Amino acid sequence: ATPTAIMVGTGLGAKRGVLFKNAMALETSARVQAVVMDKTGTLTKGEPEVTDLIADGVDEDELLRLVAAVERESEHPLAEAIVRHAEARGSGTSQAVKFVNVPGHGATAEVDGRRVVVGNRRLMEAEGIDLGLLAARRDELAASGRTAVIVAVDGRPAGLIGIADAPRETSAAAVAALHAAGVEVIMLTGDNEATARRIAEKLGIDAVIAEVLPGEKASKIVELQRGGRKVAMVGDGVNDAPALAQADLGIAIGAGTDVAIETADVVLMRSDPLDVPTALAIGRGTLRKMR
Ligand code: ADP
Ligand code: MG
């Protein structure tokens, strides 16, 4: 690698808000064969909004009050969306006690003497709660690309909250550009399979790895690296940091968390997915000049 080629590549990146942290990052960019992208906050805006409220056996405001009481104790982006919605609607407030956060699943607490469980299907299974008639509604929400947050009260299903997080404007174009460069694109997410598939389909993504627990993302990268394949990981969250470190090339979204930015080899200052193919193109251009 000639120092001049590295300087030119780094400078070209900087001009476009693509920060290569070192010469290695630039060289590896040229060799990437597959790009793994986190869904929430990377392919999507990471601004979840409540779109559906389905109450079963309780009224809607009651449901929202119970759920918001639990989610007020949580820092999850889905929890924040639910609390915001409850406040805007004026559903009233209660104080949760005995709050338990279940990473990758949801949360539980006691509200007004009732036990409230909020989260995904896996959490309901763990709690022995059968969705009954709500299962079909859950599937409908997921098939439309929304995340269905399931609510159970005192061991019985009480409702669903549909949450949408719109894709970033340039996500589909970024996937197309990566394909044009001969790079495979894979989505990696903790969200449920059907929701993830619907969004991946819209964006033209090749493969989906869903329902991945927070601690499992890095080992999914190891599997994709088998046979010496060069894998880049693009992410924004605290959860993504181990996967960013494991990947041959870690790429952080500039608007992401500090841990992601510190761990990555490349930072996209504009938080634009289109800068992923740009980064790889700069790497390839640099390598060509080095030969
Ligand atoms: P991601 O942010 O990639 O979706 P997480 O591991 O944070 O992954 O969460 C996985 C899933 O667990 C979420 O999609 C959601 O269904 C459920 N979940 C986690 N925390 C909460 C919460 N506080 N409230 C409701 N659902 C939750
Ligand atoms: Mg994310």
Tell me if 170 sits within 8 A of 272, measured CB to CB: yes
Ligand with smallest separation from the Cα of 214: 1
User: What separation in angstroms does the CA of 278 have from each of 37, 91, 195?
Assistant: 15, 46, 28
Per the model's pLDDT, the better-predicted residue between 138 and 5 turns out to be 138
Q: Which domains does the chain have, with CATH numbers?
A: 3-45+167-290 (3.40.50.1000), 49-164 (3.40.1110.10)
- pLDDT level of residue 291 (50, 70, 90 thresholds): low
Residues 6+ apart with CB under 8 A from 87: 68
Q: Is 215's pLDDT higher than 70? A: yes
What is the arithmetic mean of pLDDT over 85-93? 94
Ligand 1 within 6 A of 217 CB? Answer: no
Q: How far is the CA of 270 from the centre of ligand 1 (A)?
A: 26
- pLDDT level of residue 290 (50, 70, 90 thresholds): low
- Residue 139 annotated as catalytic: no
Q: How far is the CA of 182 from the centre of ligand 1 (A)?
A: 32
Tell me which residue of 194, 165, 198 sits closest to 42, measured CA to CA: 165
What is the arithmetic mean of pLDDT over 175-203? 97
Q: Beta 114-119 vs 18-20: how paired, if at all?
A: unpaired
Ligand 1 within 6 A of 46 CB? Answer: no
Three-state secondary structure call for residue 210: coil
Which residue has the least CA distance to atom 22 on ligand 1? 106
Tell me if 231 sits within 8 A of 36, measured CB to CB: yes
- pLDDT level of residue 160 (50, 70, 90 thresholds): very high
pLDDT at residue number 224: 98
ipTM of the complex: 0.95
Tell me which residue of 212, 189, 252 sits closest to 38, measured CA to CA: 189
Ligand with smallest separation from the Cα of 241: 2
Ligand 1 within 6 A of 42 CB? Answer: no
Ligand 1 within 6 A of 142 CB? Answer: no
Tell me if 155 sits within 8 A of 130, measured CB to CB: no
pLDDT at residue number 251: 98
pLDDT tens-place string over residues 239-260: 999 999 999 999 999 999 999 9
Predicted model pTM: 0.93
DSSP per residue, 115-132: EEEEE-HHHHHHTT---T
191, 193, 209, 213: which to mutate for ligand 1, most atoms within 8 A of CB?
191
Ligand 1 within 6 A of 220 CB? Answer: no
Which residue has the least CA distance to atom 18 on ligand 1? 106
pLDDT at residue number 288: 81
